[in-house]
Amino acid sequence: MNANTTLADKFRSMDYGVAPEDASLAVAWLDQFGRRFGHFIGGVWSAPDQGQYFETSDPSTSDKIAEVAQGSAADVDTAVKAARAALKGWQALTAHTRARYLYALARQVQKHSRRLAVLETIDNGKPIRESRDIDIPLVARHFYHHAGWAQLLAQEFPGYEACGVVGQIIPWNFPLLMLAWKIAPALAAGNTVVLKPAEFTPLTALAFAELCIEIGLPPGVVNIVTGDGSTGEALVVHSDVDKIAFTGSTEVGRAIRRATADSHKKLSLELGGKSPFVVFEDADLDSAVEGLVDGIWLNQGQVCCAGSRLLMQESIAAQLTKKLQARMATLRIGPPLDKTTDIGAIVARVQLERIEGLVAQGVAEGASCWQPDIPLPSRGLYYKPTLFTNVHPTSVVAQQEIFGPVLAAMTFRTPAEAVELANNTAYGLAASVWSESVNVALQVASRIKAGVVWVNSTNLFDAASGFGGYRQSGFGREGGREGMREYLEPAWFRKAPGLPQSAQTAAAAVADPGAGPAAPGTSAIDQGDGPSIDRTVKLYIGGKQVRPDSGYSIECRSSQGVLLGEVPLGNRKDIRNAVEAAGRAQQWSSATAHNRAQVLYYLAENLSQRAQELVSRLAMVVGKRQASKELKLSVERLFSYAAWADKYEGAVHSPPFRNISLAMNEPVGTVGVVCPEAMPLLGFFSMVLPLVTAGNCVVVVPSAAYPLIVGDLYQVLETSDVPGGVINMVTGQPMELTKVLAEHDDVDALWCYGDDNLCATAKRLSAGNLKQVWTNEGRQIDFFNERYGEGRWYLEHAHQVKNIWVPYGE
Ligand code: NAI
């Protein structure tokens, strides 16, 4: 602005000067440490084992800020030992005492909020307005909220125990907030922690370590080890870690899934996204434009849930694009510490180059790239807000997470087309839907596959509302009750004994002597000494009995070796057909809960009617007593889940804004189920029913000890109004079929009951599409006891929670 500018000119242009935040508190703190930091282990600072440090720099200037320790495997080991040593003492404290520590952390974060905000901004490059008004207040809120969970732990999670020592690995985009999302629930649940911050942004985690000292947190409860990916890897593979919680790229998430497969580590992954921002023609377009400023330019677009795909209804596309471009031209890119800056610096050169590379690919693919004519600072890592139009849905800029200030716009005509485009991604983290029609907005929100949907709003977060993804955005939730569950396990399950290598032997041990002393190789039917056996069992796919692809079958024998019949040897093709049939039956998820309950009651009725026949066949393998018990409890289990169908409900959260968030329980989709051998009937129902109750469709591999059960079950299913494709059954070698299910990209989750080897295989091979895998961890579950064999624990795994944020007020 030149010297002749009048006040009236200034008023008209709304131009303003610089308003830098005072960094002196943060600078003094850094200087106090001589700008060199060790690890925080066992309550004290310690130098790295191998004496190596690396630099962390200010992305707005590229100047070095400080040196931090490069953690080795030995450092990680020391930290894990410290966490293990602290665990007993931490758990011995009363819930109230733990709550007081969390409360004290919240207070301390608030007291030091200014210093923390500045540190975050200089280390990460995000505008001070964001770290001051969004990140740090949310950090404090997270600790307050979780002080509450710590206090209520026994009342709200009876029978649950903490996992133990938790390894946590966080990214660089919201460094302190991600720390809070990890540490607060872990401590509230009674775990101790080793956390590794991202290599680009370690400083606020170290500042947090100091807060732990200040409040007198018992040594070893929180340990911070700095370093790069290799440090993270050492934590992931450490044998004395009970759980890993990770936020970061999908690629590393996949590596962690594989690396933890052979262990019993519990795992939660919060990964990337390519979230749709859907604008309907009746939306308030000016508000939608402001929403986009938050949606894609918050934190320079380096946000896992950034609204990076703009889907506009065709009728308003031109108008919205024009408004958006006008707004983009007013965004201020500049020094992050300036309180008037809208867009700060990109975190690191490698990230800037990644953005540039992906944008260049988008241009090469023919999309139109537009950037406003606004100045960039002469130094530092900056990138202009960027809008792609004329984008093909398969283009790299529409499919890949760019993690930068780059928006890819596409158009749609109808709500159905909007949903199709929104779901045309491997991810499923978040979505934003803009319409003044509550019907349209909620209908579309319910159909988008994403863990969070914001209606007429975007990028809202609260400690009480779970956050996390569908599909390749990961599994597990952070925040709220769901988030607490990630750090807890049923106490009985942790202590359950291991499964014998061959559970078939267990079934044989209880076999009914009445089955007759036939010699191995003889047939019960040939001898005429037992009830007649259906020897022509087929696979059950899409509501039909079908022959297997291979044409081969396998024998099913009683415990004495009597041939009971033959079942098909299912293969990859049969599983593929079954998965397709399950995919076609997904309307089951939109059946009302009352309808699903009716079907389950009807199933119970029909199962009861066939009780005698079924029990007499099953008895040949498991003995009369067990067979009768399995039948009786299966009928009860059907009643239980019919009861749960309309009672396992979501919640309504009231975050501290003018919003409600609706926590909806949604089915996961198509789920593979590998049943226990030793309880052919009860095991089948115990695993299948919670899934079907939740609205999932299943592909089931029945008990290998008595796969003939399929013949009995399909008759019951056919007479009970279970829609074709909801329950599909493929017999064969469990390990082979498990592998196919685990590798199948259209299987959304896999429930597996078997020995350690089977469970590990399922987890390892699931990394491709990052499906949720839930196993018995090679342990025995007593399905005969309803306390262990049914209920909420199963239903929790059969659902995924979607939070739909709905604003209210003018
Ligand atoms: P990253 O996934 O490599 O890093 C995240 C964290 O994981 C860091 O602490 C890192 O040191 C650690 N890490 C790296 N390799 C590891 C391994 N093998 N085992 C254990 N820990 C490991 O992400 P990066 O390289 O910083 O960013 C690359 C891309 O990832 C971004 O462009 C973005 O697309 C995506 N990303 C997504 C995030 C999200 O919140 N969803 C956060 C950060 C990055």
Average pLDDT over residues 786-792: 97
- Residues in contact with 796: Cβ distance below 8 Å, sequence separation at least 6, in sequence order: 485
The pLDDT of residue 3 is 60
Q: How confident is the model at residue 2 (pLDDT cuts 50, 70, 90)?
A: low
Q: Has residue 528 got a pLDDT over 60?
A: no
Separation of 236 CA from ligand 1 center, angstroms? 14
Q: What is the CA radius of gyration of the chain?
A: 29
Mean pLDDT of all residues in 363-375: 97
Query: Residue 677 Cα, ligand 1 centroid: separation in angstroms?
Result: 40
pLDDT, position 7: 77
Q: Bridge-partner residues for 772, per DSSP?
A: 749
Are the beta carbons of 135 and 120 closer than 8 angstroms? yes
CB-based contact 423:448 (threshold 8 Å): yes
CA dist list (Å): 755 to 99, 297, 743: 39, 48, 19
Q: Is the pLDDT of residue 440 over 80?
A: yes
pLDDT level of residue 572 (50, 70, 90 thresholds): very high
Closest residue CA from atom 38 of ligand 1: 248
Q: What is the pLDDT of residue 518?
A: 36
Closest CA to 405 of 293, 321, 288: 293
Q: Whose alpha carbon is nearest atom 25 of ligand 1?
A: 249
Nearest CA to ligand 1 atom 28: 249
**203, 119 Cβ separation under 8 angstroms:** yes
Q: What angle do CA 278, 281, 283 make, to 5 degrees?
A: 70
pLDDT interval class at 536 (50, 70, 90) = confident
**Separation CA 329–CA 374 (nearest Å):** 6
Tell which atom from ligand 1 comes closest to the C-alpha of 303. 40
Please give the backbone phi and psi of residue 698, each rounded to the nearest 5 degrees, phi first.
-125, 150
Structure confidence by residue, pLDDT tens digits, 260-318: 999 999 999 999 999 999 999 999 999 999 999 999 999 999 999 999 999 999 999 99
Alpha-carbon distance 743 to 22, whole Å?
54
Which tokens hold the place of 455?
């209606």
C-alpha 303 to ligand 1 mean position (Å)? 12
| CA nearest neighbour of 773 among 181, 269, 106 | 269
Rounded distance, CA 184 to CA 147, Å?
A: 8
CA 18 / ligand 1 centre spacing (Å): 34
pLDDT at 502: 55
Q: How far is the CA of 431 from the centre of ligand 1 (A)?
A: 22
The residue whose CB lies within 8 Å of the most ligand 1 atoms, and thus the one to mutate among 252, 346, 401, is 252
Active site residues: 270, 304
pLDDT tens column, 172-194: 999 999 999 999 999 999 999 99
Task: Report the chain's mean pLDDT, rounded to a whole number.
Answer: 94
Pocket of ligand 1 (CB under 6 A): 169-173, 196, 198-199, 228-229, 232-233, 236, 247-249, 252, 255-256, 271-272, 304, 351, 354, 401, 403
3-state secondary structure of 64: strand
| Ligand 1 atom nearest to CA at 401 | 34
User: 13 pLDDT exceeds 80?
Assistant: no
- Which token pair is 326? 């006008």
Return d(Cα 149, Cα 155) in angstroms, integer. Answer: 10
Q: Helix 415-422 vs helix 438-447: angle between axes, to the nearest 10 degrees? A: 30
- Do residues 71 and 39 make contact, with C-beta atoms less than 8 angstroms apart? yes
Nearest CA to ligand 1 atom 8: 198
Contact between 533 and 617 under an 8 Å Cβ cutoff? The reply is: yes
Give the Cα separation of 47 and 70 in Å (integer): 9
> From ligand 1's centre to the CA of 178, what distance in Å?
13
Q: What Cα–Cα distance (Å) separates residue 31 from each residue in 24, 67, 173, 634?
A: 10, 12, 25, 68
Q: Over the stretch 153-177, which tens digit does the pLDDT of each residue have?
A: 999 999 999 999 999 999 999 999 9
pLDDT at position 656: 84
* Smallest CA separation from ligand 1 atom 11, residue: 229
What the block records as the tokens of 78 is 């020391």
Taking residues 592-604, report their average pLDDT.
Answer: 97
Nearest to 193 by CA among 68, 304, 102: 102
Q: What is the pTM of this model?
A: 0.94
Residue nearest ligand 1's atom 29 by CA: 249
Backbone angles phi, psi at 704, to 5 degrees: -70, -20
Task: Inform me whether the pLDDT recorded for 409 exceeds 50.
Answer: yes
Q: Best of 249, 274, 425 to mutate for ligand 1, by most ligand atoms within 8 A of CB?
A: 249
pLDDT (tens digit, 9 = 90+) per residue, 502-527? 544 333 333 333 333 333 444 444 44
Residues 657-715: pLDDT tens digits?
Answer: 889 999 999 999 999 999 999 999 999 999 999 999 999 999 999 999 999 999 999 98
- Rounded to whole angstroms, how far apart are CA atoms 658 and 276? 23
From the CA of 256, give the closest atom in ligand 1. Answer: 19
For residue 272, the ligand 1 atom closest to its alpha carbon is 41
Question: Is the pLDDT confidence value at 148 over 60?
Answer: yes
173 Cα–ligand 1 center, Å? 10
* pLDDT tens-place string over residues 78-131: 999 999 999 999 999 999 999 999 999 999 999 999 999 999 999 999 999 999
Q: Between 751 and 506, whose confidence is greater?
A: 751
Predicted pLDDT of residue 501 = 64
